[in-house]
Chain A
Amino acid sequence: NAGVTQTPKFQVLKTGQSMTLQCAQDMNHEYMSWYRQDPGMGLRLIHYSVGAGITDQGEVPNGYNVSRSTTEDFPLRLLSAAPSQTSVYFCASSQNFDSVIEGAEQYFGPGTRLTVT
């Protein structure tokens, strides 16, 4: 099992550019989520998905889109990058929504460090 994988590891964008951060898991997990990590602010939930075809907003969704066409993949799209989106992005997964409710561990990917100039 590779677990949760993320690509790319590093990315530099110019303001206004678009890009997609990739996240994949091979554990057949239904629940997947995206967080951003900023200095002094911890991790904040951007979007999450409880299964293929179902997504919902987290704490800081503005400027980001997600879709979930397969169980394995949960890409995060930045349509028009802004310097405020400079951050480290983590994808995480857990078995299903009920397991998250019950406090099961979420498995994190290695992160993508994004800089927007």
Chain B
Amino acid sequence: AQSVSQHNHHVILSEAASLELGCNYSYGGTVNLFWYVQYPGQHLQLLLKYFSGDPLVKGIKGFEAEFIKSKFSFNLRKPSVQWSDTAEYFCAVKKVGGNKLTFGTGTQLKVEL
């Protein structure tokens, strides 16, 4: 069975700091990878996704993620965070050909002014 690990449960940054949130998955086959974000009081929405091709994918609001197959990782990055990035971030994986989306436990990001 596939699983997703997000090792940083809570992250606190100052505005303009750089962000990197870790995501590792365990599954031996080909996968689709996602990052979802949940802003306070709002529903989950897709930040970015990787299907195939260029392992560096760019999403909304200046976020990007890099798929490193050899490390089974899909870390989320942003060069300069803003207060409005305060949210919970979920990494998710789905095996190609399957419909089951497996989520990580989430990382709560707080950006301080």
Contact = CB atoms under 8 A, between A and B. Distances in A.
B49 A105 contact: yes
Q: Categorize the interface residue count of chain B.
A: 20 to 34
Nearest to A45: B100
A40 B94 CA distance: 20
Contacts of B28: none
Interface string B37-79: 0000011111001010000000000000000000000000000
Contacts of A97: 99
Nearest to A109: B43
| Chain A interface SS verdict (over half) | mixed
Interface residues of A, number: 25
B76 to A, nearest CB: 15
A34 interface: no
B32 A103 contact: yes
Nearest to B32: A103
A74 interface: no
A109 B38 CA distance: 11
Contact of A41 (B36, B97, B100, B105): B105
Interface of A: 4, 31, 35, 40-45, 48, 58-59, 90, 92, 97, 100-103, 105-106, 108-111
